[in-house]
Chain A
Amino acid sequence: MSVRRLRNLLLVLIATVTLILYGCSDEDPTSTSSAGFAGLGQDVDGFQDAGSNSSLTFPADHSAHPDYRIEWWYLTANLEDESGEPLGLQWTLFRQALMAPSKRPEPTPWAADQLWMAHMALSQGEQHQVAERFGRSHSQAQLNTTQNSQAGVVANPFHAWLDDWQLKANDEADNRDFDNLTLTAYSGEGDTRFGYSLTLTAEGPLVLHGNGGFSQKAANGQGSMYYSQPFWQIEGDVTLNGETKTVSGRGWLDREWSSQLLDARQSGWDWFSIHLEDGHKLMAFRLRGGGDDTDQAQGADYRSGTWITPEGQATSLANSDITLTPQATSAVAGRDVPTRWRLEVPSAGLDMTIEAPHANRWMTTSVPYWEGEVVVTDHASGEPLGEGYLEMTGY
């Protein structure tokens, strides 16, 4: 879930500040925020608030929501190359409003009210390549074209871009809008060049999380608008170390926006997106802290999730439906990060071990976090059940 994205937002803010104004800083960005991870627990002041009475309309909601503080378009994929070697990738576009809607500057040249950040990662075996970009835009509608803005997202036809990193409706497909997309992103030169050029085909419907798309993130009612497309079939080319390979596999796209995603007491999260071999999908997350409605500085964990049938029928999972236990940690980038988990959802008959085959999936971006491929096995028998992606922040 999107919590990870939240930190990214913070990452935007703090990162850009540290990165750009102070040069590189080794400071732990999480320690500078007193309001949840990456400032994602800030008050709503002046922004629109995500609530259970909000509803989703498509294709309009695929585009940006500048009246909300933060937003992202988040794709992860479990692929394999021609020789069957597994390969993981991530592409994310984050948006953050620089000010409340009432305080936006006139749309003079270069004036911006939205800050954009994009991350890409490509992983195979022990290799893990990461890149990051920044951009700005003004939210006034007529400015949102590639000729007028460095970054932006428009709905129909769908187009999300930051420079040459672009996720857009596939011109060549019989375009059912959001069901056929292409993704292109490259970074570096020569031997260090990496990136991908992929086609994405949806093999199932969009899935709304929580209550009609409102996903609660803390016991006090804090939350975000959240939907996913977990049924992507992906084909295309990836380039790693200047070498290009043909790949195919499954992808998961998350869309989420909010003005206050986290409870101020929440320090980080662990988020899972799982593709099971029988066609089911599972999304589950744990927010560390904020799990009860008390004033305690460090509340209990808050868990939530969605169980999705192969046809796309979604069932929300509440705090009590999910048991999530870290079972082993690995030392990554000077920290201990849990890389083996036990996830139990008794209502769906699940008791799984989830393990990251490669622990070095640390994202060395301006706000760092862990994001990588996982394999899923039956906890009791050890039989393979599926694969997915895990994101962990605040470690």
Chain B
Amino acid sequence: MTRVLSTLLSHYRRHPGQLVMLLLGLWVASALWSGIQAINATARDSYARADALFDTQLDQLERRDGAPLTRGEYYALRQAGLPVSPMLEGEVVTQAGTRLTLIGIDPLTLSSDNAMAQANTSASLSDFLTPPWQTRAAPDALAALGVARENASGATPTLADGNTLPPLVLAPALPPDTLIMDISAAARLLESGDEITRIVAAPWALAEAPSGFILTRATTLASPGQLTESFHLNLTALGLLAWVVGLFIVQAALGLALEQRLGMLRTLRVLGVSGRSLVVALCLELILLGLIGALAGIASGVWLARVLLPDVAATLGSLYGAGVGQELNLPWHYWVGGLAVSLGGLLLAGSGVLWRAARLNMLELGQMQAWRGGYRRQLTLMSISGALALSVALALYGWLRFQPPGDGLVAGFGLIAALLLASALWLPPFLALVLKVLTHLAQRRPLIHWAMADMQLQLPRLSLAMMALLIALATNLGVGSMVGGFRLTFLDWLDQRLVAPLYLNAPSEQYADIDVWLADRPEVFERLLTRRSDATLQATITPDGSRALGTPIELYGITPGESLTPHWPLLAIQQDRSSAWAAFSDGAIFVNEQLATAENLAPGDRLTLSAPGANETLTIAAIYPDYGNPRGQVLMASPQLAARFNAPPSSMGLVLNDNANVDAMRAALRERFDLGSDALSDQAEIKRIATEIFERTFTITRALNVLTLAVAALALFASLLAQARNRRQQLAPLWALGVPRAQLAQLNLAQLGGAALVTGLLAVPLGIAITWGLVAIINVAAFGWRLPLYLFPWEMAITLATAVGVALLAAALPTLRFWRASPRALLAEEANQ
């Protein structure tokens, strides 16, 4: 067996290029896949740590009147026998400017099975409770604190405000960017006096809310894991795509390696090696190569993840407020899983090769023509499978049409995958058909006729690479259009919503005075006060009946005035815009698209909203787009929100007259009200930040997209390289018949360029279909908003050019070889024929 194996492997010694190509395919496939899995695993670990912490695992009490909780109330609750615990939460700013969440707890009353309790260290309780106290922090937080890992333990970093943190104790189970300490130490740092942020209890430890309080159960608090699930599904789908495309390379390289060893295999069989041992030896070869490729791929995947992780973390942080550690945190099953997926893919790609080796006919000659006969059958099979994949896609589409919008994320991905598969499977039969027609048409022009016939011979080898190219191009186009369309919509939407040149963000008690002062300023055209508050959506009342819910939502108040109402985008209204706005000013509400999608709401429906001290049932007058917001939001006129829900002011937009001086206004405000430097921001600044967040969101998508296309180019290159020798055999007779080399080289390039162009043309409608699937199904299900379908002809042209360029580039090297081959070598090829 060893001898058989070493004989088989000796092939690669003579053709190191094939080995490189094979390993490259494996490497690329498993690197992209495992890189994305590493990012997902790290993010999940961070969410799990955050989930395991307090917010999502503990029931919470708030005062019904919305006033802050105090120490006295906490003691009163304890003396009434309630198993509650106090908690302080605030932000501290490190010297580097990073904001960290500071949580103060009372370990004596916090239920002891909580994760905090397990943030275990060797320190004693008394060290935690008494001066100098302790700061528990995950190693992820050290960088922000400016502390090196090796001297982290016991370090006392200084904060931006000059305060010093209690000595650090590392607690890897804590979420990143979170510091935990005793409530007495936290009260000092946060200067919270007798106020506490929340009163918590173990889930269901309280049968009902004590009078004067609202009880929020842990289960109704959204966890970061749930919010970000769709984001990770997107990443996973892209990773899977890269993996599939990488396997095309492997398949091409393996097919070639077998083709060229057919003679060797026959010889071995004739020498008495059984078919079974031959297959076992080939299997061993595959596993050996697979292990090398997969290990290299996983190593690079981890590297890739490390490079991409800061962007992913920033995206998740800005989109969902979910903290993701900057350090990779990989469980053991990640490594095993990565290896299994790579090897599984290899065996899948190699199964065809093994099948053919097992059925090897000892007497059959390696004839191209015979090959072609087999290929006919294959084309029929591909057409049938393609039709099957298409019917799956159609079935999924039909099913999705009957689902409420916002459902069917997985089905949406399934639909796109089926569509891609169907197109890929139909590509070779389609190319064959085109060639047949062209061959027929070119009967009068022998050279072109020959080129077409020759192309038909090349097709079996090229078809897989072309399929990979088609998938990569279509995905590239689809994702590119989606991102581009989103960008246009988003910027437009930002412009519509940010109508004031100056935005004020002051302590809420100052707004009344500021408002009075601004009212007398002649240069102020309009004051757009916003308010916000949290509430619970208790029930929806629709024509289909009413439904009880307990969903937390955000209440947001705007000032409907001349500046805002003409531009504010609305998606659905009952009659016309002006009546919607009139109703809005009178106390009707608008809901954002996310909420409308999630709860299946339309204008005219009614919502019952409750917040501390208030309970109102209001009518929906319109639905508006709210890109980038993971939460459901209800919009009300600011005065209505203040009257009904007692919501505090949160910001104020200042619309100035045309000739007003923005800088003078800013300076006057700052001086008059003693405002901090960050209390006033420009429209331009806000737009810049929003755009930056947006760009970061799609950095990874773009990076993966480019990588996928690169992999497809590699696959094509591998296939062409693989048949370069054969090509010389085919071209040599023509050269001998007197066709000039230059013409032959052009013919060669034209053949491939043409095939790529056809593939690229096919990729365009497929790409549009994918864009549609992304904006109309996947985005709605994943984020809750639907985007208009934008198409970018210029990008399509670039995609086509890319396809042809990639093909020509891949064809260039073999063509160059032929060009530079000596007449003697060509004659020798001729003699071989």
Q: Report which A residues bind B (CB closer than 8 A).
A: 13, 16-17, 19-24, 98-99, 103, 105, 108-113, 115, 134-136, 146-150, 161, 163-164, 166, 186, 189
**Are A13 and B124 CB-contacts (below 8 A) given A111-B184, A134-B108?**
yes
**Are A20 and B125 CB-contacts (below 8 A) given A147-B75, A161-B79?**
yes
Tell whether, in the assembled complex, residue A13 and residue B121 are in contact, meaning their CB atoms are under 8 Å apart: no
Alpha-carbon distance between A19 and B129 when the two chains are bound, in angstroms:
14
Alpha-carbon distance between A123 and B81 when the two chains are bound, in angstroms:
22
Q: Is the interface of A mostly helix, strand, loop or mixed?
A: loop
In the complex, besides A109-B184, A148-B71, 9 extra interface pairs with C-beta distance below 8 angstroms are A13-B126, A16-B125, A21-B124, A21-B125, A105-B131, A110-B187, A115-B126, A136-B106, A164-B78
B176 to chain A, nearest CB (A): 21
On chain B, the residues within 8 Å of A164 by CB distance are: 78-81
On chain A, the residues within 8 Å of B503 by CB distance are: none
Among the 9-residue stretches B109-117, B603-611, B673-681, the one with 4 or more Cβ atoms under 8 Å from chain A is B109-117
17 chain-A/chain-B pairs, Cβ below 8 angstroms: A16-B125, A20-B125, A21-B107, A21-B121, A21-B123, A21-B128, A23-B112, A23-B120, A24-B112, A103-B131, A105-B130, A105-B184, A109-B71, A109-B192, A109-B193, A111-B184, A135-B109
On chain B, the residues within 8 Å of A23 by CB distance are: 112-113, 117-118, 120
Tell whether, in the assembled complex, residue A136 and residue B108 are in contact, meaning their CB atoms are under 8 Å apart: yes
On chain A, the residues within 8 Å of B128 by CB distance are: 21
Tell whether, in the assembled complex, residue A16 and residue B107 are in contact, meaning their CB atoms are under 8 Å apart: yes
B655 at interface by CB-CB < 8 Å: no
B183 at interface by CB-CB < 8 Å: yes
* B-side interface residues, number (CB < 8 Å): 39
B576 at interface by CB-CB < 8 Å: no
B72 at interface by CB-CB < 8 Å: yes
Tell whether, in the assembled complex, residue B124 and residue A110 are in contact, meaning their CB atoms are under 8 Å apart: no
On chain B, the residues within 8 Å of A148 by CB distance are: 71-72, 75
Tell whether, in the assembled complex, residue B78 and residue A115 are in contact, meaning their CB atoms are under 8 Å apart: no
A237 to chain B, nearest CB (A): 16
Tell whether, in the assembled complex, residue A112 and residue B187 are in contact, meaning their CB atoms are under 8 Å apart: no
Nearest opposing residue in chain B for A18, CB measure: B125
Sorted nearest first, the 3 A-B pairs with minimum C-beta distance are A110-B184, A164-B81, A134-B108
Tell whether, in the assembled complex, residue A108 and residue B124 are in contact, meaning their CB atoms are under 8 Å apart: no
B145 to chain A, nearest CB (A): 22
Partner of A113, one of B110, B117, B130, B182: B130
Tell whether, in the assembled complex, residue A112 and residue B130 are in contact, meaning their CB atoms are under 8 Å apart: yes
B567 to chain A, nearest CB (A): 48
Tell whether, in the assembled complex, residue A189 and residue B207 are in contact, meaning their CB atoms are under 8 Å apart: yes
B663 at interface by CB-CB < 8 Å: no
Tell whether, in the assembled complex, residue A16 and residue B184 are in contact, meaning their CB atoms are under 8 Å apart: no
Tell whether, in the assembled complex, residue B75 and residue A149 are in contact, meaning their CB atoms are under 8 Å apart: yes
Query: Which residues of chain B from 52 to 72 have a CB within 8 Å of any chain A CB?
Result: 71-72
B194 at interface by CB-CB < 8 Å: yes
Tell whether, in the assembled complex, residue B71 and residue A110 are in contact, meaning their CB atoms are under 8 Å apart: yes
Partner of A147, one of B72, B121, B126: B72
Tell whether, in the assembled complex, residue B81 and residue A20 are in contact, meaning their CB atoms are under 8 Å apart: no
B110 to chain A, nearest CB (A): 8
Tell whether, in the assembled complex, residue B117 and residue A21 are in contact, meaning their CB atoms are under 8 Å apart: yes
On chain A, the residues within 8 Å of B108 by CB distance are: 16, 20, 115, 134-136
B386 to chain A, nearest CB (A): 57
Tell whether, in the assembled complex, residue B81 and residue A109 are in contact, meaning their CB atoms are under 8 Å apart: no
Alpha-carbon distance between A109 and B130 when the two chains are bound, in angstroms:
13
Alpha-carbon distance between A105 and B118 when the two chains are bound, in angstroms:
27
Tell whether, in the assembled complex, residue B193 and residue A150 are in contact, meaning their CB atoms are under 8 Å apart: no
On chain A, the residues within 8 Å of B109 by CB distance are: 134-135, 150
Alpha-carbon distance between A164 and B210 when the two chains are bound, in angstroms:
15
Nearest opposing residue in chain B for A195, CB measure: B81
Alpha-carbon distance between A256 and B75 when the two chains are bound, in angstroms:
27
On chain B, the residues within 8 Å of A112 by CB distance are: 129-130, 184
Alpha-carbon distance between A108 and B104 when the two chains are bound, in angstroms:
14
Alpha-carbon distance between A19 and B118 when the two chains are bound, in angstroms:
9
Query: Which residues of chain B from 172 to 203 have a CB within 8 Å of any chain A CB?
Result: 182-184, 187-188, 192-194
**A105, A110, A189, most chain B CB atoms within 10 A:** A110
On chain B, the residues within 8 Å of A16 by CB distance are: 107-108, 125
**A19, A20, A136, most chain B CB atoms within 10 A:** A20
B114 to chain A, nearest CB (A): 9
**Are A20 and B117 CB-contacts (below 8 A) given A98-B126, A110-B184, A146-B79?**
yes
Alpha-carbon distance between A274 and B184 when the two chains are bound, in angstroms:
44
Partner of A99, one of B71, B75, B117, B130: B130
**Are A150 and B75 CB-contacts (below 8 A) given A17-B125, A21-B120, A21-B123?**
yes
On chain A, the residues within 8 Å of B182 by CB distance are: 110
Nearest opposing residue in chain A for B194, CB measure: A109
Alpha-carbon distance between A115 and B107 when the two chains are bound, in angstroms:
12
On chain A, the residues within 8 Å of B120 by CB distance are: 21-23
Q: Mark contacts of B63-107 with chain A using CB atoms, 8 A cut-off: 1 yes-contact digit, 0 otherwise.
A: 000000001100110111100001000000000000000001011
**Are A17 and B124 CB-contacts (below 8 A) given A23-B117, A105-B130, A110-B184?**
yes
On chain B, the residues within 8 Å of A20 by CB distance are: 107-108, 110, 112, 117, 125
Alpha-carbon distance between A147 and B75 when the two chains are bound, in angstroms:
6
Nearest opposing residue in chain A for B204, CB measure: A189
Nearest opposing residue in chain B for A24, CB measure: B112
B777 to chain A, nearest CB (A): 45
Alpha-carbon distance between A166 and B81 when the two chains are bound, in angstroms:
11
B686 to chain A, nearest CB (A): 37
Q: Mark contacts of B116-150 with chain A using CB atoms, 8 A cut-off: 1 yes-contact digit, 0 otherwise.
A: 01111101111011110000000000000000000
On chain A, the residues within 8 Å of B194 by CB distance are: 109
Alpha-carbon distance between A19 and B126 when the two chains are bound, in angstroms:
13
Tell whether, in the assembled complex, residue A98 and residue B129 are in contact, meaning their CB atoms are under 8 Å apart: yes
Alpha-carbon distance between A111 and B192 when the two chains are bound, in angstroms:
13
**B106, B124, B184, most chain A CB atoms within 10 A:** B184
Nearest opposing residue in chain A for B88, CB measure: A110
A345 to chain B, nearest CB (A): 41
On chain B, the residues within 8 Å of A99 by CB distance are: 130
Tell whether, in the assembled complex, residue B117 and residue A163 are in contact, meaning their CB atoms are under 8 Å apart: no
Tell whether, in the assembled complex, residue B183 and residue A110 are in contact, meaning their CB atoms are under 8 Å apart: yes
Tell whether, in the assembled complex, residue A110 and residue B79 are in contact, meaning their CB atoms are under 8 Å apart: no
Alpha-carbon distance between A189 and B129 when the two chains are bound, in angstroms:
30
Tell whether, in the assembled complex, residue A110 and residue B106 are in contact, meaning their CB atoms are under 8 Å apart: yes
B186 to chain A, nearest CB (A): 8
A32 to chain B, nearest CB (A): 11
A331 to chain B, nearest CB (A): 28
On chain B, the residues within 8 Å of A13 by CB distance are: 124-126
Nearest opposing residue in chain A for B132, CB measure: A105
Partner of B130, one of A22, A24, A98, A146: A98
On chain A, the residues within 8 Å of B118 by CB distance are: 22-23
**B71, B113, B120, B129, most chain A CB atoms within 10 A:** B129
Alpha-carbon distance between A13 and B130 when the two chains are bound, in angstroms:
13
On chain A, the residues within 8 Å of B81 by CB distance are: 163-164, 186
On chain A, the residues within 8 Å of B107 by CB distance are: 16, 20-21
Alpha-carbon distance between A103 and B117 when the two chains are bound, in angstroms:
27
Nearest opposing residue in chain A for B171, CB measure: A21
**A17, A147, A149, A186, most chain B CB atoms within 10 A:** A17
Partner of B188, one of A21, A22, A108: A108
Alpha-carbon distance between A108 and B109 when the two chains are bound, in angstroms:
19
B352 to chain A, nearest CB (A): 54
B36 to chain A, nearest CB (A): 34
B693 to chain A, nearest CB (A): 37
Nearest opposing residue in chain A for B205, CB measure: A189
**B108, B124, B130, most chain A CB atoms within 10 A:** B108
A106 to chain B, nearest CB (A): 9
Q: Mark contacts of B584-595 with chain A using CB atoms, 8 A cut-off: 1 yes-contact digit, 0 otherwise.
A: 000000000000
Alpha-carbon distance between A134 and B109 when the two chains are bound, in angstroms:
7
Alpha-carbon distance between A214 and B546 when the two chains are bound, in angstroms:
73
Nearest opposing residue in chain A for B193, CB measure: A109
